[in-house]
Amino acid sequence: MKSVHRHLPGLEVTDHQLLAPLDHDRPDGEKIEVFCREVVATRRAKDDLPRLVYLQGGPGFEAPRPVEPSGWLGRALEDYRVVLLDQRGTGRSSPMTAQTLSALESPKAQAEYASHFRADAIVRDCELVRKALPGGGTPWTVLGQSYGGFCAVHYLSAAPEGLSGVLITGGLPALDRPVDDVYRATYPRVIDRNRAYFERYPEDRDRVREIAALLEREDVRLPSGGRLTPRRLQLLGIQFGFSDGFETVHYMIEDAFVNIGNRRTLGIRFLKAIDQQQPWDTNPIYAMLHEAIYCQGTASRWSAHRLMGEAPELAATGDAPAFFTGEMIYPWMFEDFAELRPLQEAAEILAAKSDWPALYDLERLAKNTVPGAAAIYANDMFVERAFSEETAAKIPHLRTWITSEYEHNGLRADGAKILTHLLELMHGER
C-alpha cells in the first residue's frame, strides 16, 4: 500500500492506494487500483481510535472529498478515524469510463470487465483495505449511504468478521425480490412526487410542455455533446427524491429560455445545468449496472423500461401532464448521452446477463451478531420502505429508525444529527 499524508485545517488526511484483483476469484489475474482517504481530527491524531469506512451511494460514485470537520464527517471524527473509499471504478480508483473501456477489444469484453463492479467486489476490496491499513486486521464500522447500504448488507452477509458495527442511511435493500418488484414499487412514488411538485409550482406544467415541444422540433445539443430530448428532460425527476429537489428543478425550468432577436430558445445556463444534474457521461457505472445491483441469478432485461407502461402518467404526449421520471435507467440513454453511446452494446449484454451471483446469504444474515442501526426514510422515492422493513426483520441486532423528517439525502442535509441518532441506536442508548 502506498500512502501520502497531508494536513488540512482541523484534519489529518492520509491517501492510501493499493492493488486489488479485477476478479477476486482470480487473485493472480488483472489488477486494478483501489484508493481511499483516511481522515482523523487533528486534535485526535495521536489517539488510538477505531475506524469507520464510508461507502457512497450510487452505484458508480466516488467518496466525498474532505474539506472541513463538519456534517456527518465532523460527527464521525469525534469517535473514529474515517476511511473514505473510492469504490472501484470511481474517483482515484482505476476509473471505469467509456474512455478507459475503449481499450478493450469488444463490447463483450467491456461487459465482462464491468461485471466485476458490484457490491460483492466492493466488499472484498474493503477487506483488502482494512487488512492493509496500519494496525489493520481489527474489525471496523461501516457507514453505508443509499447504495452504500446495499454494500453494507452484503458485507454482513459475506464477511461479518470484518465488522464491529453497521450504520445505514436510506439503503436497506430487498434481499430476495426480483428487480421488477423494485420498479413496480418505486414508479408510484415517482408519480406522487410529480403531483406534489406541480402542486407547488403549477406554472411549470406549461413551461415543461414548452421545453418538450421545442425539443421535439429541434436537435438541441448539450455542452457535453449529447442530445437533449424530451425523454432526457424527464430524467430531471431524479432530483425529486431529495429534500431540495423541487427547488433545484424549478429554478432550472423557470430560467430555461432566452430570447435571441425574435427567437425564443433554450439558454446556455439551462443546458449546462442539465449536464451538471446528469453525470452519467463521467460516471457510466450507474447507467450500466444500476439494475444489475438488484439481480441474483436473473437478468434485468431493462426492467424500468419494460414496466414504464404501467405508469402512463409519465408519458409526456398530447394533453397529458409532463411528468418527470426518477432514478430509472433506460436503454435509450445509451443514444442520448454522448459518452454512453460507445457502451451501448456492452450495456445490452449486461441487461441480458442472467448468471449474476447471489448477493445475500439469508441463513447467515439470520444469525447476525454484529450490532447495527438503519435509518429508513418513510417517503423515500428510491428505496421502498416496505422492502427495507422486510429486510430489517430478517437481520437480528439491526435496529431501525423510521422517519418522515428526511428525504433520501438526509445524511447530506442533516448528517450530524442523523449519525448521532444511529450511533445511539447501535450502542443501545435509545
Q: What's the rounded Cα separation, in Å, for the pair 329 and 381?
A: 15
Q: Do 74 and 64 form a contact (C-beta atoms < 8 A)? A: no
Q: Which residues contact 318 (CB under 8 A, 6 or more apart)?
A: none
Per the annotation, the verdict on 146 as an active-site residue is yes
- Selected catalytic residue, list 94, 115, 146, 157: 146
For the chain, give the longest Cα–Cα distance.
70
Alpha-carbon torsion (205, 207, 210, 215), positive or negative? negative
Contacts 24+ apart (CB under 8 A), 18-21: 18/128, 18/129, 18/132, 20/88, 20/124, 20/125, 20/128
DSSP-assigned letter for residue 219: -
Element (H, E) at 149: helix 147-158
Residue tagged active-site, from 48, 219, 319, 355: 355
Verify whether residue 305 is a known catalytic residue: no
Residues 116, 154, 290, 408: which is the catalytic one?
408
Whether 355 is catalytic:
yes
Q: In sequence order, which residues have a C-beta less than 8 Å from that of residue 26 and are 6 or more positions away?
A: none
Distance in angstroms (rounded) separating the CA atoms of residues 395 and 265:
54
Q: Taking the CA atoms of the chain, what radius of gyration do you get in angstroms?
A: 22
* Cα-based torsion angle of the residue sequence 308, 314, 318, 320 in order, rounded to the nearest 10 degrees: 130
CA distances from 130 to 16, 41, 118, 137, 276 (A): 11, 20, 19, 6, 34
And the C-alpha cell for 38?
A: 483516511
How many other β-carbons are positioned within 10 Å of the β-carbon of residue 16?
19
The phi, psi pair for 401, rounded to 5°, reads -125, 105
Grid coordinates in use for 244? 431540495
Task: Find, among 111, 59, 112, 134, the residue nearest to 89 by Cα.
Answer: 59
Question: CB–CB of 372/380 below 8 Å?
Answer: no
228 contacts 271 by C-beta, under 8 angstroms? yes
- Residues taking part in catalysis: 146, 355, 408
